[in-house]
Amino acid sequence: MPRCCVAFAFHVDELTTTLLTLHVATRRDAGYGVYAEEDENIDDIVDVEGEESSVITDEETVEDTSNASADADTTILFTKPIYNTLSTLELPAGNIVEFLVGFINKGESDFVLESLDASFRYAMDFNFHIQNFSTFTFNKIVKPNHEATLAYSFIPSESFAGRPFGLNVNLNYRDTNGISYNEAVFNETVQIVEIDDGLDGETIFLYVFLAACIILALVGGQQLLSSLGRKSRSSTSRKTAVEMGTSNPNNVDYDWLPKEVLNRISK
């Protein structure tokens, strides 16, 4: 049988025109089928201004989920540097930072402390990772009513000096049922500071230069004094030679003669 096609055009409004095409297909032993297709008019696309879209970079991650077991208690203690909870934690740039994480099992089943990790986050948005530090793996079993202590250390980059960052410390552990937990033991803003050691390379060079100048001045003074002493001795010897020249016109050396003979000659 011949195929029939009927097109209907509807005017919706002044800006948008939709062409609705109805294809009526007639087939033998299949009856009639109606199919609808909608064609978009590209010219009708309108840009909407006034709302900024947020761009998520590759470094951004989905918000971290922190869950802790009700049968576990965790604490953190910074040993280097010593942390006063009343003030903002200051970490020295380029120096090692050490802390201890305490874990107490209050339940009736074992816990396995799997790993401990730390990272720097953007201070205004903790979902933005700045630097990830190494993950320490422990796999330590903690019995019921027992506690364990884990040690962790890292070194902040010297390029971070003078800037605030969010420090996130995560403890990963699981129970005997295989349920995993990820607890944020520490999740606060810290300040990276530059430590003034007092004696840097420039100061040491300045001290060495001053010491060299002092040594050169002492050596020069000693040489000057010795030269002046030699001049005074030479002038004295010349005067003595002139005085002896009046009594010894022939310039004869009488030093080898005994004193008695010299006394007779001088008379």
| Type of residue numbered 70 | A
Evaluate whether 102 touches 75 at the Cβ level (below 8 Å).
Answer: yes
H/E stretch holding 85 reads none
pLDDT tens per residue across all 267 residues of the chain: 444 433 333 333 443 333 333 343 334 444 434 333 344 443 333 333 333 333 333 433 434 566 899 999 999 999 999 887 778 899 999 999 999 999 999 999 999 999 999 999 998 998 898 999 999 999 999 999 999 999 999 999 999 999 999 999 999 999 999 999 999 999 999 999 987 766 667 778 888 999 999 999 999 888 888 888 777 766 665 555 444 445 555 666 667 777 777 777 776
**Nearest CA to 123 among 78, 160, 81?**
160
Evaluate whether 168 touches 64 at the Cβ level (below 8 Å).
Answer: yes
Dist. CA 81–CA 75, nearest whole Å: 17
The 10 Å CB-count burial string (b at 16+, else e) for 49-60 is eeeeeeeeeeee
| Type of residue numbered 116 | L
- Taking the model in full, what pTM does it have? 0.52
In the structure encoding, which two tokens stand for residue 122, read together? Answer: 């953007």
H/E stretch holding 226 reads helix 201-247
Only one residue has tokens 């903002």, namely 88
The DSSP output letter for 147 is: E
In the structure encoding, which two tokens stand for residue 215, read together? Answer: 């040594």
List, in order of start, the domains of the chain with CATH numbers.
1-10+64-206 (2.60.40.10)
